[in-house]
Chain A
């Protein structure tokens, strides 16, 4: 099956000499929610801007729906809707007129019924005759989503769409994203709320210093890179991990009052039973224990740190 977006050996440097993208290759599958994660300045927005035609590419090739973004830019761009990171609006325009403008700009005939449906879905219908400058930050963000949807794109880029949006509105927004995915729209999102990516995405891509360091199915990623940690609440604090327990990956925390044991969930044997036996032999007693599974955020942080 042809990918919705195919990026091959894409490189981009700015006039300052900063190399924003280094030989990036990436495929985004049709109909998936793809979360692109990376620290600030990693190259996420440059990658999105290049695919959308806002930034010129230096080297490489990008196709959208099989159309080259340079040679067949009209066909490629017609498939894309973009919600940029910055809140940039035609402040003096009316909400409804501005959404209709975007539809026309993308070459689509006027469709007031569609514009009404989009505005209603995003709870903006009541504000259709209001000037954009009078909207709150969250409403402006939703207005930008409405504009991105106005020409019925098959691929939607959401660059930090929930930044500055309150919790309730954010949930509504993600509900809208789910509905779009159900209708077959491919969604590429960047977000600083990694729990959102964990909840929404089908696949995760991690970019750091202009390089894609990982692209993996989310569930597979959580399985392969996910770790569990056993925390033992000790009765007597320890100054150091005893020599007899050096075979285990142990760390002391909380001034020696907690013993942390990290283990691989995929391993045949976790080593917990042996560890508890060895603790008893060493006379180390504990009053409580708990386990915690690493989140996508933990995985993301460890990947980026490893790459630093």
Chain B
């Protein structure tokens, strides 16, 4: 196993975050803080509790999840797309490092960055609304699994994209709507039966629900189902990534 090679890629990616600190950390923290001010403070004060949780506190897990999955996708997709775009991918392809090691390094770095931002948002939220975490270990488990799963998904997008427009296409047209309709700002129990059923096809629902359970022990679907769906999504993404790398999809002629 080429551990030094993996660490080289991991450190390279983490160093990139340091150079783009405003874009990587400050920007998501600022936008999430605005959500708290608008939804938690201004609008939230006029909304009754949901499942016994004040509205401002209720949206915290959803907002963290939304940022986490969007950042995981953008970090990982850009990390693998940029060397393809500049041509420096030749170095990775000619190095004595396996595909699995390459994925672990890139996805590990993307997930780490997303988790750090997620934790910063959590700390920021504590400044705006009262909060408690009933099951810290479960919270961390969901945080880590979601970051890895969506970093893998981002890696797929980065491998597939052959232009900056395509790199933005899936996050904008699919991920953002799914994130907004995933129960971040509401409980899907509040929806009419038809839309409730439709929501169950949205993978983000399971992430938000499981994550929220770790905070307030209230959820839209069972926590075991949430965990199972998250794992299933992670494994499916890993399978697709490994297939793409083994066949050299858009990487090797």
Closest residue of B by beta carbon distance from A78: B96
A54 pairs with B2, CB closer than 8 A:
no
**Does A272 make an interface contact (CB < 8 A)?**
no
- What is the minimal beta-carbon distance from B9 to any residue of chain A, in angstroms? 7
**Does B7 make an interface contact (CB < 8 A)?**
yes
A56 pairs with B252, CB closer than 8 A:
yes
Chain B 232-244, CB-CB to A under 8 Å as 1, else 0, gives: 0000000000000
A305 to B141: give the CA distance in the assembly, Å.
Answer: 67
A104 pairs with B94, CB closer than 8 A:
no
Chain A 90-103, CB-CB to B under 8 Å as 1, else 0, gives: 11110001000111
Closest residue of B by beta carbon distance from A12: B253
Q: Which of A105-113, A176-184, A236-244, A292-300 contacts B (4 or more CB under 8 A)?
A: A105-113
A15 pairs with B5, CB closer than 8 A:
no
Residues on the A chain within 8 Å of B12, using CB: 93, 101
Chain B 166-207, CB-CB to A under 8 Å as 1, else 0, gives: 000000000000000000000000000000000000000000
Residues on the A chain within 8 Å of B127, using CB: none
**Does B88 make an interface contact (CB < 8 A)?**
yes
**Does B93 make an interface contact (CB < 8 A)?**
yes
A117 to B10: give the CA distance in the assembly, Å.
Answer: 26
Chain B 77-95, CB-CB to A under 8 Å as 1, else 0, gives: 0000001001110111111
**In-complex Cβ contact of A109 among B4, B16, B91, B94 (8 A):** B4
Counting chain A CB atoms within 10 Å of each CB, which of B4, B86, B95 scores highest?
B95
**Does B145 make an interface contact (CB < 8 A)?**
no
**Are A54 and B90 also in contact (CB < 8 A) when A74-B96, A107-B96 are?**
yes
**Does A77 make an interface contact (CB < 8 A)?**
yes
B88 pairs with A105, CB closer than 8 A:
no
CB-based A-B contact count at 8 angstroms: 78
- What is the minimal beta-carbon distance from A232 to any residue of chain B, in angstroms? 53
Residues on the A chain within 8 Å of B93, using CB: 52-54
B252 pairs with A107, CB closer than 8 A:
no
**Are A88 and B253 also in contact (CB < 8 A) when A54-B93, A105-B5, A106-B5 are?**
no
Residues on the A chain within 8 Å of B8, using CB: 101, 103-105
Which residues in chain B, 57-106, are within 8 Å of chain A measured between CB atoms?
83, 86-88, 90-98
Residues on the B chain within 8 Å of A106, using CB: 5, 95-96
**In-complex Cβ contact of B96 among A14, A49, A77, A90 (8 A):** A77
Residues on the B chain within 8 Å of A93, using CB: 12
A82 pairs with B86, CB closer than 8 A:
no
- What is the minimal beta-carbon distance from A79 to any residue of chain B, in angstroms? 9
A107 pairs with B94, CB closer than 8 A:
no
A105 pairs with B9, CB closer than 8 A:
yes
Residues on the B chain within 8 Å of A75, using CB: 96
**Does A80 make an interface contact (CB < 8 A)?**
yes
A52 to B253: give the CA distance in the assembly, Å.
Answer: 13
**Does A3 make an interface contact (CB < 8 A)?**
no
**Does B19 make an interface contact (CB < 8 A)?**
yes
A4 to B88: give the CA distance in the assembly, Å.
Answer: 26
**In-complex Cβ contact of B92 among A56, A78, A105, A108 (8 A):** A105
**Does A193 make an interface contact (CB < 8 A)?**
no
Chain B 1-23, CB-CB to A under 8 Å as 1, else 0, gives: 01111011101100110010000
Counting chain A CB atoms within 10 Å of each CB, which of B5, B90, B253 scores highest?
B253
A88 pairs with B9, CB closer than 8 A:
no
Counting chain B CB atoms within 10 Å of each CB, which of A73, A75, A106 scores highest?
A106
**Does B248 make an interface contact (CB < 8 A)?**
yes
B5 pairs with A88, CB closer than 8 A:
no
A75 to B83: give the CA distance in the assembly, Å.
Answer: 24
Residues on the B chain within 8 Å of A92, using CB: 16, 19
**In-complex Cβ contact of A89 among B2, B5, B88 (8 A):** B88
**Are A55 and B88 also in contact (CB < 8 A) when A106-B96, A107-B5 are?**
no
**Does A84 make an interface contact (CB < 8 A)?**
yes
Residues on the B chain within 8 Å of A90, using CB: 83, 86, 88
Residues on the B chain within 8 Å of A55, using CB: 252-253
A101 to B8: give the CA distance in the assembly, Å.
Answer: 6
A222 to B192: give the CA distance in the assembly, Å.
Answer: 87
* 30 A–B contacts from the bound complex (CB under 8 Å): A49-B90, A53-B94, A54-B93, A54-B252, A55-B253, A56-B248, A74-B97, A74-B98, A75-B96, A76-B96, A82-B90, A86-B87, A88-B86, A88-B88, A88-B90, A89-B86, A91-B86, A92-B16, A97-B15, A101-B8, A101-B11, A101-B12, A104-B4, A104-B11, A105-B4, A105-B9, A107-B3, A107-B4, A107-B5, A109-B4
Chain B contacts to A: CB under 8 angstroms: 2-5, 7-9, 11-12, 15-16, 19, 83, 86-88, 90-98, 248, 252-253
Using A15-B253, A75-B96, A106-B96 as known contacts, list a sample of 17 further A-B pairs with CB atoms less than 8 Å apart, ordered by residue number in A. Answer: A52-B93, A53-B93, A54-B93, A54-B252, A55-B252, A56-B248, A56-B253, A88-B86, A90-B83, A91-B86, A93-B12, A102-B91, A104-B4, A104-B8, A105-B4, A105-B97, A106-B95
Chain A contacts to B: CB under 8 angstroms: 14-15, 49, 52-56, 73-78, 80, 82, 84, 86, 88-93, 97, 101-109, 147
5 nearest CB pairs, A to B: A104-B8, A88-B87, A74-B96, A77-B96, A52-B94
